[in-house]
Amino acid sequence: MAVPKNIAKLQVRVWDLPTRIYHWGQLILVAAALLLGFFGPEWWLDAHVYVGYAIIAFIVFRLIWGVWGPEYSRFSNFLFSPKAVIAHIKKLVSGRPSHFLGHNPLGSLMVFALILILALLSISGLTVLGGVENQGPLAGFASFSLGTLARIGHEFLAYLLVGMIVAHIFGVLFESYMSKTSLTRAMVDGRKPVTEDQRPATLYPVRKEGGMIIAFGVICVIGAVGALASTMPASGLIAMPVNESFQSECADCHQVYHPSLLPRESWVSLMGNLSDHFGEDASLGADTTNEIMSYLSRYAAQAWDTEAANFLSLVDEKHPFQITATPFWISRHANIPQEIFRTKPVNSKANCSACHKDAAGGMFADQNIQIAHGQN
C-alpha cells in the first residue's frame, strides 16, 4: 500500500462502536459496584448484585468480541512479548514513545489484567452471595465457610481494582502527554492519528453481526443457567416444620425467635429453667416443655449454615440466652442510634422483626433490612 505524504495528519477509526460502548459502560458499572460495595448500606445489596450481573455480561461480551470483533479489538492484535513491553517502557522513559494504532504494550497488559480481576471479583462475589447470604446461583453449592473466605478475597480484589484504576488513569494521561495523542478522545470517537511509518487502520471486513449474535446467545445461556441454579434450595437452609406448641406458648408473651438464633446448649439450658425466664415464671407442663425443647434442639444454630446461625452461635458466656448480647449482634448494630431501640415501633433491642422483615424465617437477608424510624 502506498503511504500518502499527509499520512501523519490522517485520522482513522480504530475503535469500533461496540468496543467503545464496552469501555465506557464497564467504567460506569465498575464505579457503581465500588461505590455500592464500599459506601452503600447493607439493604442496597440487590443493586450491587445486579450491577455485578451486568459486569459479568460485559466481560462475556468482551471475551467474545476479542475473538470475533474487528482487527484492533481482537486479543491477537495486542499480544505483546515481555521484550516488547520492556522496549516500550524504555522508549516512554526516554521521551520517544512509539505510536500504536491499537493498544500499546502497557495498555494491553492493563486490558487483560482488568478483565481477569473483574472475572475474579464476579466469581468471588457470587460465592459470597451464595455462601454467606444463601442467595444467587451458587446458593445451593457454596457453604458459609467458603463464602466467608471468598468475601476476604472479594474485598482484597476490590482494593486492588481501585489501585489498578488509578494506575490506568495515570498511564493514559502520561501516555497521552508523551505521544501528543488524546487516548481518551480516541476511545470516545474511535479515531487515532496514523504516523508516516504506519499503514492506515484497515479494519478488515468482519461480520460484526455474527460476533454480536454469539455474544448475545452466550450471555442469554449463562443468564438462564444462573437463573435456574438460583431456584435450587440454598445449602445453608433446611426445611423446618412449624411446631404449634412453640409458636403458641412463646408468642403469648413475646416475639417468637427462630431456633437458629441460639446454639443448642443455650436452648436446652433456657428451657430447663422456665421458672426463672428472664425474671418471670414461664413454667409449662412437662410434655409441652420437652416437646419445645426437642424442637429447639433439633433446629438450633448448629443445624443451619446461615450467617446469623454461624455468628450468633457464639454467645456471651455471661448471657448465653440473650441474642442481643452476642458479639456479632453488638458489632452489627453498633452504628444504629440507641434511641431507635427505645421508641416505637421498635421499643426494644429484642424486637428483630421491626427492622428485619424476614426475621421469622431466620434468613435475615440484607435486602430485607428496613431500619424503623423511631416515634414517641
The number of beta carbons lying within 10 Å of the beta carbon of residue 167 is: 13
Residue 203 has pLDDT above 70, yes or no: no
Judge whether 359 and 350 are in contact, CB under 8 Å. no
Q: Are residues 334 and 221 in the same domain?
A: no
Stretch among 94-108, 132-146, 303-317 having the lowest mean pLDDT = 94-108
Between CA 61 and CA 19 the distance in angstroms is 10
For residue 204, name the pLDDT band (cuts at 50, 70, 90): low
**DSSP 8-state symbol, 198:** S
How far, in whole angstroms, is CA 148 from its chain's centroid? 13
- For residue 187, give the C-alpha cell: 476511545
pLDDT at 134: 96
Q: Which of 230, 258, 284 is the last residue of a domain?
A: 230
What's the burial of 139, exposed, middle or buried (CB within 10 Å: 0-12/13-18/19+)? Answer: buried
- 2 part of a folded domain: no
Contact (Cβ atoms closer than 8 angstroms) between residue 8 and residue 198: no
Q: Is residue 237 part of a domain?
A: no
Determine, yes or no, domain membership for 373.
Answer: no
Lowest mean pLDDT among 94-103, 157-166, 176-185, 199-208: 199-208
Q: Do 203 and 123 fall within a single domain?
A: yes
pLDDT digits (tens, 9 = 90+) for 144-166: 999 999 999 999 999 999 999 99
Residue 310 confidence (pLDDT): 95
Is residue 239 included in any domain, yes or no?
Answer: no
Rounded mean pLDDT of 126-153? 97
Q: Which domain holds residue 327?
A: 244-368
Quick one: pLDDT band at residue 2, thresholds 50, 70, 90? very low
* pLDDT number for residue 199: 60
Residue 198 and residue 107 share a domain: yes
pLDDT score of 88: 87
Those residues with Cβ within 8 angstroms of residue 30's Cβ, 6 or more apart along the chain or in another chain: 55, 118, 161, 165
Confidence of residue 230 (pLDDT cuts 50, 70, 90): very high
- Work out the average pLDDT over 253-278: 92
Q: Are residue 291 and residue 250 in the same domain, yes or no?
A: yes
Our count of domains for the chain comes to 2
Q: What is the pLDDT of residues 61-108, one digit of tens each?
A: 999 999 988 888 999 989 999 999 999 888 888 878 777 888 889 999
| Residue 154 and residue 12 share a domain | yes
Residue 4 pLDDT: 41
Asked if 133 and 197 sit in the same domain, the reply is yes
Which of 128-132, 136-140, 147-151, 180-184 shows the lowest mean pLDDT across its residues?
Answer: 180-184
Q: Do 205 and 250 share a structural domain?
A: no
Give the Cα separation of 263 and 251 in Å (integer).
20
Phi-psi region of 356 (alpha: psi -120 to 50; beta: other; left: phi over 0): beta
Q: Calculate the alpha carbon distances from 368 to 186, 258, 310, 350 in Å.
A: 44, 16, 19, 17
